Structure 1
């Protein structure tokens, strides 16, 4: 998902640095050093705000001048599905793995360019007709009221959805069902001290009530409600050396007034306890016509998360909630391929009239594979 400009900047920097020792290095990619890129172009491509399909493809590494100097080494075994599996179900695993690859490459569906509707097999669908959303929750989080104290319970499961608004609805619903007393944390919001907005007119226009109402992607809300034992996700890099990075999942163990104690659920520091302070965060969204900072705990409840946030994670139980269809290349492939077994995923799909269905959109930019 990294933009090609980041790699090109690294290429120029290494050429400049290494040419000091040997001038010939300035002509070699990355100054003559071997660089290993890891990734899968079936998955989500770089995010280009308000970008077209062409903009997104052009931002990918395979569209860079560096790509002509790369040698592609292909991995052929789905290790996520293979680890821990028995020899008796190898055929089923291979069949499921092949189906995932076909989705990722746009080889299933009703459109030759990769964008079309695909039919999800019946055994992967939620069958609860009375309350399908609760059926999805029960599949992913069975006996949640009795098992929430088990650290591994939350680290191995999640509900995925394409959009943040749906994720917030699921998180709020599960938080209401969760046992324990709610603790509310309110942020301190203020305008950034720039000359343009220090004008008294701007101060009145963007008063604290207005700032508190702003909801921005990647920023915690003004009102953060938590309970003991609730799983949360970090929204900022706090301490990368100790595994506290953007996207790290944790479980709340103590709710203090100034700090929150939590246990790490994902990454290389699983089981470690850490303290999360309030920090000041400035949103990077350029659509906001003013700059403000929000002082709040950089976390959000994560019973559910967006498909983009789930990329790179391996889970035992995944529920995919498609109230709205996926909208970007590779999202459906990423969501379906998070699980370690084919029995660990269930999909709930609604059509435009709000009725459960077995068909959904699959967005694939097939032109991205022409450069591999």
Structure 2
């Protein structure tokens, strides 16, 4: 209940939210909540009766008052469409730092204050955590990832479906990262739920993002494959009216020239050689150790600024190596947790072909390491969806506060839930790949260190200090632009690159 009081709810509403939250958690495990709670609380399908509309008005009105002229045009236009209840599709196009998240947050609170139901989603967990009550699109719409998100397994009679049907507006951030198949699957799902052929079931769809940033991941895909997979190539794209944000709210007034440079970088207008390499700007070159340059004195104690610095790299293997190096410099006792690994095969005797020692050495993308090294105060990233509704989703960043043998007490590092503590247990994590003759099961805390992360994982976040480690060159559209635009100021950026060159890959056909 205290969690909800801290969010500004009245005592009565906070109590209702607390009981609802407990009941929903019990129900998620397939149990009947009335068996455990001997008290009258709202039915699970009746959560709307405890919405604190005054709270959302208190949140939304100051946001609206502080919008710039471009942002107000978007908020007014979208809210007008919501009130007309005629449906409509919109896309907010703006570079990193142009205030897209600010617009989404204002619309979310103002729509609810006006008695409409709003839903916020993003393609990644990190971006979802920056939205009010944000969730990942795949979990919200029950998209089948193994099927390339082309279908949903949501049942029409489920509570999830009933909740989704009651939504008036869906706000979807970082939409350019999502494959067009996912957008088309959501359209098909909403049409099916509402038994109509109206696009998206007649709901207001507000998408947003920046096509200068990374596109949908297509494993071993060509340039054509990645461009063809993006939402601009969807049959639904002509339905969307585009709003544009041009003012960069993330850079300071003295960084105006840097803003122009960022846009030239993202648009592919900077001079490059035959390998698409450009020289690193001399004022950004890191000649020494990038870990020291980025974190420096922050590692000597428990500083809240530790979450506001990051090292970005194109490849996962470099992020793992840098994370271990940063942890060694962080003060405190290092604890190591070893996973329990198993090769899951059709015939038990086949498991003998895959020794445990071999499996222990595997750290594929999306799986925690066999040996997880952590310290109190270290920054970690969650690798699985544990409780999406409460921000425990894939990609979320946390600060480790207490270390137990079977559970870790962690604190949300960013977003609407910053400062709230959560419990993270060991769980079974599975990994499958068409090139592997078995299914890997790893029982471990579903975490990785997150002082460093891949550029793709960083999309949607902003930091005061960013180190860009280009030990290997950029390999996909928009990665260099994403890396440089994560920092609020040019003064906070340092670049460590081989031969002081940086590769910039831009697919101009996506930007047209």
Q: Above 0.5 in TM-score?
A: yes
Aligned counterpart for 1:141 among listed residues 283, 287, 295: 295
SS across alignment from 1:108: coil
Determine whether 1:98 maps to 2:240.
Answer: no
Q: Aligned partners of 1:257 and 1:296: how far apart in 2?
A: 11
2:87 alignment partner in structure 1: none
The answer to whether the 8 A contact 2:432-2:438 is kept is no
CA RMSD of aligned residues (A): 1.7
* Post-superposition CA distance 1:284-328 (Å, at most 9, x none): 433322112111001111111111111100100111111111111
1:198 alignment partner in structure 2: 347
Q: Which has the higher contact order (CA 8 A, sep 6+)?
A: 1
Aligned counterpart for 1:296 among listed residues 444, 453, 456: 444
1:319 alignment partner in structure 2: 467
Q: Aligned partners of 2:410 and 2:226: how far apart in 1?
A: 37
Q: CA 1:137–1:209 in structure 2 vs 1: closer, same or farther (change >3 Å)?
A: closer
* Post-superposition CA distance 1:36-85 (Å, at most 9, x none): 1111110000001111111110110000100121111111111222xxx4
Question: Which TM-score applies when normalising by structure 1?
Answer: 0.86
2:204 alignment partner in structure 1: 34
The answer to whether the 8 A contact 2:432-2:440 is kept is no
Aligned counterpart for 1:208 among listed residues 356, 362, 385: 356
* Post-superposition CA distance 1:182-205 (Å, at most 9, x none): 21111111233x5xx2241x1210
Determine whether 1:331 maps to 2:479.
Answer: yes
1:232 alignment partner in structure 2: 380
Determine whether 1:179 maps to 2:336.
Answer: no
The answer to whether the 8 A contact 2:429-2:442 is kept is yes
Aligned counterpart for 2:269 among listed residues 104, 107, 123: 107
Aligned counterpart for 1:7 among listed residues 170, 176, 183: 183
Aligned counterpart for 1:53 among listed residues 223, 237, 240: 223
Shift of 1:218: 0.6
Question: Which TM-score applies when normalising by structure 2?
Answer: 0.63
* Post-superposition CA distance 1:229-278 (Å, at most 9, x none): 21111111212222222121111111111111112212211111111100
Q: Aligned partners of 2:298 and 2:256: how far apart in 1?
A: 32
Q: Aligned partners of 1:74 and 1:43: how far apart in 2?
A: 15
Aligned counterpart for 2:507 among listed residues 347, 350, 365: 365
Structure 2: runs of 5+ lacking an equivalent: 1-176
Q: Aligned partners of 1:174 and 1:33: how far apart in 2?
A: 46
SS across alignment from 2:431: coil
* Post-superposition CA distance 1:155-184 (Å, at most 9, x none): 211011111111112111122222222211
1:123 alignment partner in structure 2: 283
Q: Aligned partners of 1:251 and 1:34: how far apart in 2?
A: 36
After the TM superposition, which of the residue ranges 330-339 and 266-275 deviates more from structure 2?
266-275
The answer to whether the 8 A contact 2:411-2:420 is kept is yes
The answer to whether the 8 A contact 1:248-1:267 is kept is no
Determine whether 1:287 maps to 2:287.
Answer: no
Shift of 1:35: 0.9
Structure 1: runs of 5+ lacking an equivalent: 20-24, 352-356
Greater helix percent: which structure? 2
The answer to whether the 8 A contact 1:160-1:335 is kept is yes
Equivalent residue pairs, number: 336
Q: Aligned partners of 2:359 and 2:329: how far apart in 1?
A: 30
Q: Aligned partners of 2:461 and 2:360: how far apart in 1?
A: 32
SS across alignment from 2:205: coil
